[in-house]
Amino acid sequence: MPNMLEFTAAEAAFVLREPIKAVRKAMDEGPVQARLVTKAGGPVRAIAWRDLVYLHAVRTLREELTPKGRTEFYLALKRSPAEGTREVRFGRLSVTMDAFEAEVEARAQELSALADKVEFRADGEPLLKGTAIEVHRIAALLAGGLSAEEIRDDYPSVTPAMVDTAKAYADVHPKPGRPYPRTTVKRALQGAGLEALDEVLDGPASEA
């Protein structure tokens, strides 16, 4: 994985299997050095590949490293050669990096694979590949409490894997602007009431 890659807090959270709040806290408190980059939604903070590997290693070694040791580890890692760093030495300690880098690379490839599971409408809206169903619509239904099975009742063409893709993609790429409703027209009509129906009909786009 190229060392020049940069990851937003949401992308880093996906790779690290950490809550996004934890990643943002690491960006705020250091020693990782976030910088502003331009993404589709505008300028956002991001960290480099080595910062990502460092955060994964520190979480694994959290019992062995003091706060001072974590900073020394980070600085030693940043000073090491960009390619082929197998071991990082600092103070009386050394950390073998191979396993940490391999695991982060595998998870980063999962992140890249998400892009192959969506396609884009003319207005830029991400759709589940091979369908006309918006990714963030499915994610909103999950956030609203519907199970994958309930979503598939209303969207028979959506597979369980597509539901997982929608959630992961929406977590990594939050929707700017007005969110999709958290229920469907069908379920609003079944008893949620006219207010819920109004919310669905006023969503960003009509349902397929």
- Give pLDDT tens digits for 161-184: 999 999 999 999 998 888 888 887
What fold does the segment set 6-115 form as a domain? Multidrug-efflux Transporter Regulator; Chain: A; Domain 2 (1.10.1660)
- Res 188: pLDDT: 66
- Res 195: pLDDT: 53
- Res 18: pLDDT: 94
E strand or H helix at 174, and its extent?
none
Residue recorded with tokens 């990502």? 52
Write out pLDDT tens, residues 38-91: 876 688 999 999 999 999 999 999 888 999 999 999 999 999 887 766 899 998
Write out pLDDT tens, residues 149-163: 999 988 999 999 999
- Res 4: pLDDT: 53
CA distances from 116 to 4, 42, 142, 162, 169 (A): 21, 23, 21, 12, 11
Domain limits, CATH 1.10.1660, in the chain? 6-115
Mean per-residue pLDDT over the chain, rounded: 87
Residue recorded with tokens 């830029």? 124
Dihedral, CA atoms, 17, 22, 24, 30, nearest 10 degrees? -110
